[in-house]
């Protein structure tokens, strides 16, 4: 088992190196760089361009070097926690992302938990009561949830909240807490605002997951070992949880790998609509203004999450399923 | 209920809800099971025998329901319960299930959960029932290991922590039996307990079940289609056909004096060892067959002669398993096919016999070039030229493929459900660009009539045909290319006895009419005896014995062949199974063979016993070893 984990961690390294090269290449691909678009913007506004300052910046941030050199500077910086400099904010990337990363993680985790809490009972119910009226009802709701664009749902909820509660639910906390240090009151305010983005971001994921749990469980319910469990005299619910449900978890665990980045990157548009202080809007504006180190570091972060997510799901799978654990050449 | 009865089923009717309308599957079945005795329910697939068993356990699928009748059950306590009156999943029924009545199933591969250890699953039965109530974890484990030992696990302590996928089919079925017996039930329902197992393993399980039944004094309800198993295990027999009992009585009467036409036909339809060479099986259902015009545009196939059509020599295929750890250790090597050599003469049928994992399917895949062997040659001699099959390039291989066609085991998955029968039969002709569309259709019609199917089948899809019909479609497809050699990979093992006879007769007729050559792969020795002129016996990737059918069956020289022959249950109550040491130890494992037959391939040689009968043994082996 340890060897298995070791090997998997080792395999992450080349993956990440290749990803970083790809990310860098894609960000470099559009013509021009941040400084050029900055100059163009200044000129458009009719302001004088300080050539000396531009030259200084060009040197300082290595735009006079070749892309390959810049790539290595960027990558080697990441190892010591230096993710580069955000031109637009005129701050180091770490400072810009800072707080937002925690809020992002909070929103994402809450969304994932929300998804599981809703999807599991409904999925199990639908599978065990296949073709009942409730099953059809959940299926309908699920398809509705899948089909509704997130940002639309966000707008609708904002409108309704305003009409019903008379409050603005935009943002992740009351405006007076923004920039304040963490406190109990701020925490409560965050919780107060959290439910809207969680519902908005989680709805389609929940709907999809209900469908998948239902389909997987239905497959497993046909299997012979379910009959064996019934023939043993097990209570139907215990038999359900111990055997088919456990087996249908495999898909769910391998899902975790893609869940982490999907939740975080899928929330950008919603975050803009709801003006959440998460990292999503940051990434979009960074890409727009060719703020390359901010965007690049951000994408790297997403890839890291993906790779770690896949690792976690693989380890969990190996732990849960002896066929993976024992037939992969590893003996316990 | 009478004295001594454990179970009495009276006029049981079960119906299934199929798209809103009820379909009666069991139409009034009555029988009894006496304490300490075995009642066998015999019938074909679809006769309602398994549904009856599920009804007794009250584990029918959700769309099935008992519509009439009673199922009275009297465990040791003496209290009679009518199972039909209980709630299917109520506490009283759950207390019975797995405790006083328990069940084992056909598929040991899928009946156990793959992600729970065997100990966990066996122990669970004990834990949830009264018998295990109040036991500590240690006591539970001890009781579980004791039962695992009882069903023949050599090392119960280790078996407890093993997972089903680490075990062979036979051991898994033993684990299932342990699970069923751990609460010491009054009645054990065994639903085709040995059907999915190899012959020698089947013999072991039959023996085990009989011993356990004696030891624990329980009643057994055996559900099977195999009259050989019935003759060896049953005290009373109930023959079911189409949801009704057609004949029942003590096993003696059933076998010595069958009355009902169906039972008589069933007894005649199964091939057995004592058939005369020209014996013809009586199929339950016949059909009118058209003689196919195979010689269109091409006169070929002279009389059977001694020039072999196919010569295989030195065939080996080795699989390397992944290393066991980073610290090395020898890489595990599996010799799936180990220096296999044989010939097939034109117009003959060579039977290839062996257990699962013996390498017989790998050989057939090598012959069709689906797998590339590590060494060896295959020469195909069609009379005009000699073709080195393994040396063919892509283009020549395509030209060669029509000569050698295959019929597969599973009639369900070997036909695409999305193609009509006409398309299925035309596909090989399309691939090889033979004929216009109308010519292809005409040929497809000929092919259908040659396998006793009507022309109206052309536009239908496979799902509207029964297993036997599908297998005949598979045969027709293989014949579409006018092949010289047909590889039949377990063509009848998925079929009922009655259908099996029909397909076997068809194959024999086709062979005679068209001068076909067969490689007939099977695990059923009686079937091979019926079909083949010569037999090759495979074990552990090697051909251990090869020769004419009579000498192999009458004077087997290799210990494995002998064990194989001894393990076949006869549908004859005067010839019960007598199992020797080797069968019980596991005859397919070369380590259990006598010294004269063991060793690396280089140390062994095919020793000729005359008339082409050869056995794989050491050169130095004592001749008496071959006549034990």
Supply the DSSP string of B418-436, one letter for each residue. TS-HHHHHHHHHHHTT-S-
Contacts of B226 (CB under 8 A, 6+ apart): B194, B195, B569
The reported pLDDT for the residue numbered B296 is 40
CA distance, residue A79 to nearest chain B CA (Å): 29
Q: Tell which A residues from 240 to 269 touch B, by Cβ distance under 8 Å.
A: 242-243, 246-247
Helix (H) or strand (E) holding A307: helix A292-320
For residue A3, which residues of chain B lie inside 8 Å, CB to CB? 325-326
CA quadruple B522, B523, B528, B530: dihedral sign = negative
The whole-angstrom separation of Cα A34 and Cα A45 is 17
Query: Residue A224: which of B111, B116, B326 has the nearest Cβ?
Result: B111
Residue in chain A nearest B111 by alpha carbon: A225
Is there a contact between A326 and B166 if contact means CB atoms under 8 Å apart? Answer: yes
Is there a contact between B113 and A321 if contact means CB atoms under 8 Å apart? Answer: no
DSSP B592: G
The reported pLDDT for the residue numbered A169 is 62
The whole-angstrom separation of Cα A172 and Cα A192 is 8
Q: DSSP readout, A50-96?
A: -HHHHHHHHHHTTTTS-HHHHHHHHHHHHHTT---EETTTTEEHHHH
Cβ pairs bridging A and B (under 8 Å) = 90
Residue in chain B nearest A223 by alpha carbon: B110
Q: How far is CA B573 from the centre of its chain?
A: 22
Residue range B268-321, pLDDT digits in tens: 888 888 777 778 887 765 554 555 444 443 334 445 556 789 999 999 998 876
SS3 content of chain B, % helix, strand, coil (to 5): 35, 25, 40
Considering just the CA atoms, what is the radius of gyration of chain B in Å? 26
The answer to whether residues B151 and B66 touch, using CB atoms and an 8 Å cutoff, is no
The whole-angstrom separation of Cα B530 and Cα B550 is 11
Residue range B393-449, pLDDT digits in tens: 999 999 899 999 999 988 888 999 999 999 999 999 999 988 899 999 999 999 998
Mutate to test the interface with B, among A7, A135, A228 (most CBs of B within 10 A): A228
Q: Are strands B349-353 and B517-522 parallel, antiparallel or unpaired?
A: parallel
Residue in chain B nearest A318 by alpha carbon: B115
Contacts of B600 (CB under 8 A, 6+ apart): none
The reported pLDDT for the residue numbered B628 is 61
Q: Residue B84: name the closest of B71, B98, B65, B93 by CA.
A: B71
Residue in chain A nearest B332 by alpha carbon: A329
Q: Does A132 touch chain B (CB under 8 A)?
A: no
> pLDDT by residue for chain A (332 residues), tens digit each?
777 788 888 888 888 889 888 888 887 777 777 777 777 777 777 777 777 777 777 777 677 777 788 888 888 887 777 777 777 777 787 777 777 777 777 888 888 889 889 989 999 999 888 888 988 998 888 888 888 888 888 888 888 877 887 666 667 777 777 667 777 777 777 777 788 888 888 888 888 888 889 999 998 888 889 989 989 989 888 889 889 998 888 878 877 777 777 666 656 767 777 777 777 777 778 877 777 778 888 888 888 888 888 888 888 888 888 877 765 543 33
Is there a contact between A224 and B99 if contact means CB atoms under 8 Å apart? Answer: no
Helix (H) or strand (E) holding B446: helix B437-450
CB-facing half-sphere around the CA of B346: CA atoms within 13 A: 18
The whole-angstrom separation of Cα B253 and Cα B233 is 15
The reported pLDDT for the residue numbered B294 is 46
The whole-angstrom separation of Cα B517 and Cα B349 is 6
The pair of three-digit structure tokens given for residue A167, joined into one six-digit string:
């409050």
**Coil vs helix vs strand at B197:** coil
Residue range B239-267, pLDDT digits in tens: 998 899 999 999 999 999 998 888 888 88
Contacts of B213 (CB under 8 A, 6+ apart): B36, B38, B188, B220
Residue in chain A nearest B57 by alpha carbon: A231
**Coil vs helix vs strand at B283:** coil
The whole-angstrom separation of Cα B484 and Cα B348 is 11
Strands of the sheet containing B5-18, edge to edge, are B21-34, B5-18, B64-73, B81-82
ipTM value for the complex: 0.77
Quick one: angle between helices A133-147 and A93-128, nearest 10?
160
CA quadruple A268, A273, A277, A282: dihedral sign = positive
pTM of the model: 0.81
The whole-angstrom separation of Cα B284 and Cα B498 is 5
Query: Residue B324: which of A229, A243, A329 has the nearest Cβ?
Result: A329
Percent of chain B topping pLDDT 70: 93
CB environment B487-519: b (16+ within 10 A), e (fewer) = bbbbbbebbbbbbbbbbbbbbbbbbeebbbbbb
Strands of the sheet containing B187-191, edge to edge, are B101-104, B187-191, B219-224, B38-42, B236-241, B244-250
The whole-angstrom separation of Cα A326 and Cα A330 is 5
Is there a contact between A329 and B326 if contact means CB atoms under 8 Å apart? Answer: no
Cβ-in-10-Å burial (0-12, 13-18, 19+) of B476 comes to: buried
Q: Measured between alpha carbons, how far is residue B429 from residues B94, B395, B403, B413, B426 in Å?
A: 57, 16, 13, 21, 5
For residue B179, which residues of chain A lie inside 8 Å, CB to CB? 228, 232
Q: Are strands B38-42 and B219-224 parallel, antiparallel or unpaired?
A: parallel
Cβ-in-10-Å burial (0-12, 13-18, 19+) of B298 comes to: exposed
Contacts of A10 (CB under 8 A, 6+ apart): none
Report, as ranges of residue numbers, the positions in chain B whose pLDDT lies below 70.
Answer: 284-306, 321-331, 581-582, 584, 628
For residue B115, which residues of chain A lie inside 8 Å, CB to CB? 246-247, 320-323
For residue A327, which residues of chain B lie inside 8 Å, CB to CB? 165
Q: Are strands B534-539 and B349-353 parallel, antiparallel or unpaired?
A: parallel
For residue B129, which residues of chain A lie inside 8 Å, CB to CB? 233
Angle at CA of residue B483, ends B477 and B486, nearest 5°: 75
Contacts of B415 (CB under 8 A, 6+ apart): B424, B462, B470, B473, B474
The reported pLDDT for the residue numbered B473 is 93
The answer to whether residues A124 and A159 touch, using CB atoms and an 8 Å cutoff, is no
Q: Are strands B308-320 and B333-345 parallel, antiparallel or unpaired?
A: antiparallel
The answer to whether residues B579 and B375 touch, using CB atoms and an 8 Å cutoff, is no
């Amino acid at each position: 088992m340890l060897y298995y984990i070791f090997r998997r961690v080792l395999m992450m390294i080349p993956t990440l190196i290749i990803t970083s090269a790809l990310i860098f290449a894609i960000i470099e691909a559009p013509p021009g760089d941040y400084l050029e678009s900055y100059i163009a913007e200044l000129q458009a506004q009719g302001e004088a361009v300080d050539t000396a300052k531009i030259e200084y910046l060009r040197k300082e941030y290595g735009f006079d070097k070749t892309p390959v050199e810049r790539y290595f500077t960027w990558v080697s910086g990441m190892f010591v926690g230096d993710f580069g400099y955000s031109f637009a904010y005129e701050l180091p990337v770490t400072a810009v992302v800072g707080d937002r990363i925690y809020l992002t993680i909070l929103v994402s985790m809450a969304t994932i938990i929300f998804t599981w809490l809703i999807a599991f009972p409904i999925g199990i119910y639908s599978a065990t009561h296949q073709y009942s009226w409730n099953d059809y009802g959940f299926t309908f709701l699920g398809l509705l949830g899948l089909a509704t664009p997130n940002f639309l749902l966000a707008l609708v909820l904002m409108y309704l909240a305003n009409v019903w509660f008379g409050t603005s639910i935009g943002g992740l906390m009351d405006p007076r807490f923004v920039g304040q240090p963490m406190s109990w009151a701020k925490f409560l305010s965050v919780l107060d605002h959290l439910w809207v983005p969680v519902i908005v971001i989680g709805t389609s994921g929940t709907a999809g997951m209900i469908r998948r749990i239902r389909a997987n469980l239905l497959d497993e319910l046909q299997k012979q070992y379910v009959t064996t469990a019934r023939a043993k005299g097990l209570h139907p619910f215990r038999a359900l949880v111990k055997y088919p449900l456990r087996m249908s978890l495999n898909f769910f665990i391998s899902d975790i790998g893609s869940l982490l980045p999907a939740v975080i990157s899928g929330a950008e548009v919603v975050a803009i609509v709801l003006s959440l202080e998460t990292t999503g809007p940051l990434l979009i504006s960074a890409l727009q203004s060719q703020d390359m180190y901010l965007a690049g570091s951000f994408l790297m972060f997403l890839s890291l999450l993906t790779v770690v997510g896949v690792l976690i799901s693989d380890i969990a799978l190996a732990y849960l399923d002896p066929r993976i654990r024992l037939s992969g050449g590893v003996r316990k | 209920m009478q004295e001594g009865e454990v179970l009495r089923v009276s006029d049981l009717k079960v119906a299934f809800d199929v798209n809103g309308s009820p379909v009666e599957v069991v139409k009034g079945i009555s029988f009894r099971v006496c304490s300490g005795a075995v009642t066998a329910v015999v019938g074909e697939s679809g006769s309602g025998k398994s549904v009856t068993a599920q009804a007794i356990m009250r584990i029918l699928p959700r769309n099935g329901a008992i519509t009439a009748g009673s199922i009275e059950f009297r465990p040791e306590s003496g209290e009679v319960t009518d199972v039909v009156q209980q709630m299917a999943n109520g506490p009283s029924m759950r207390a019975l299930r797995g405790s006083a009545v328990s069940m084992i199933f056909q598929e040991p591969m899928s009946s156990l959960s793959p992600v729970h250890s065997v100990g966990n699953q066996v122990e669970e039965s004990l834990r949830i029932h009264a018998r295990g109530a109040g036991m500590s974890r240690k006591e539970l484990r001890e009781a579980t290991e004791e039962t695992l030992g009882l069903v023949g696990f050599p090392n119960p302590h280790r078996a407890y922590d093993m997972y089903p996928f680490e075990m062979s089919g036979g051991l898994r079925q033993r684990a299932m039996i342990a699970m069923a017996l751990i609460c010491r039930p009054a009645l054990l329902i065994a639903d085709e307990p040995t059907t999915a197992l190899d012959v020698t393993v089947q013999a072991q399980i039959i023996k085990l079940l009989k011993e356990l039944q004696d030891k624990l004094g329980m009643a057994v309800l055996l559900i099977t289609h195999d009259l050989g198993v019935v003759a060896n295990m049953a005290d009373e027999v109930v023959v079911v056909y189409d949801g009704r009992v057609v004949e029942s009585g003590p096993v003696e009467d059933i076998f010595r004096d069958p009355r009902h036409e169906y039972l008589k036909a069933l007894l005649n339809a199964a091939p057995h060892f004592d058939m005369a060479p020209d014996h013809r099986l009586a199929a339950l259902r016949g059909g009118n067959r058209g003689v196919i015009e195979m010689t269109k545009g091409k006169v070929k196939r002279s009389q059977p002669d001694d020039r072999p059509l196919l010569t295989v020599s030195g065939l080996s295929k080795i699989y390397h398993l992944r290393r066991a750890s980073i610290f090395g250790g020898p890489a595990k090597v599996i010799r799936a096919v180990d220096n296999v050599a044989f010939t097939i003469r034109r117009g003959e049928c060579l039977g290839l016999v062996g257990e699962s994992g013996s390498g017989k399917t790998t050989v057939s895949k090598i012959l069709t070039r689906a797998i590339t062997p590590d060494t060896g040659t295959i020469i195909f001699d069609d009379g005009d030229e000699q073709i080195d099959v393994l040396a063919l390039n892509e283009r020549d291989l395509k030209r060669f493929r029509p000569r050698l066609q295959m019929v597969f085991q599973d009639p369900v998955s070997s036909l695409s459900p999305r193609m009509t029968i006409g398309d299925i039969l035309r596909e090989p002709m399309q691939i090889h660009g033979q004929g216009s569309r109308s010519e292809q259709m005409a040929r497809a019609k000929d092919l259908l009539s040659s396998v006793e199917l009507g022309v109206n089948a052309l536009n239908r899809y496979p799902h509207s045909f029964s297993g036997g019909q599908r297998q005949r479609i598979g045969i027709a497809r293989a014949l579409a290319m006018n092949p010289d050699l047909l590889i039949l990979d377990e063509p009848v093992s998925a079929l009922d006895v009655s259908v099996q006879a029909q397909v076997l007769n068809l194959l024999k007729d086709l062979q005679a009419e068209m001068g076909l050559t067969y490689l007939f792969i099977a695990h059923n020795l009686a079937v091979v005896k019926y079909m083949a002129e010569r037999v090759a016996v495979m074990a552990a990737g090697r051909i251990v014995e090869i020769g004419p059918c009579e000498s192999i069956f009458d004077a087997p020289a290799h210990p494995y062949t002998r064990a194989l022959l001894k393990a076949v249950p006869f549908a004859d109550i005067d010839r019960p199974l007598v199992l020797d040491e080797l069968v019980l130890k596991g005859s397919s494992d070369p380590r259990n063979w006598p010294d004269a037959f063991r060793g690396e391939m280089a140390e062994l040689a095919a020793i000729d016993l005359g008339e082409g009968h050869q056995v794989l043994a050491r050169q130095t082996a004592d001749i008496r070893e071959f006549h034990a």
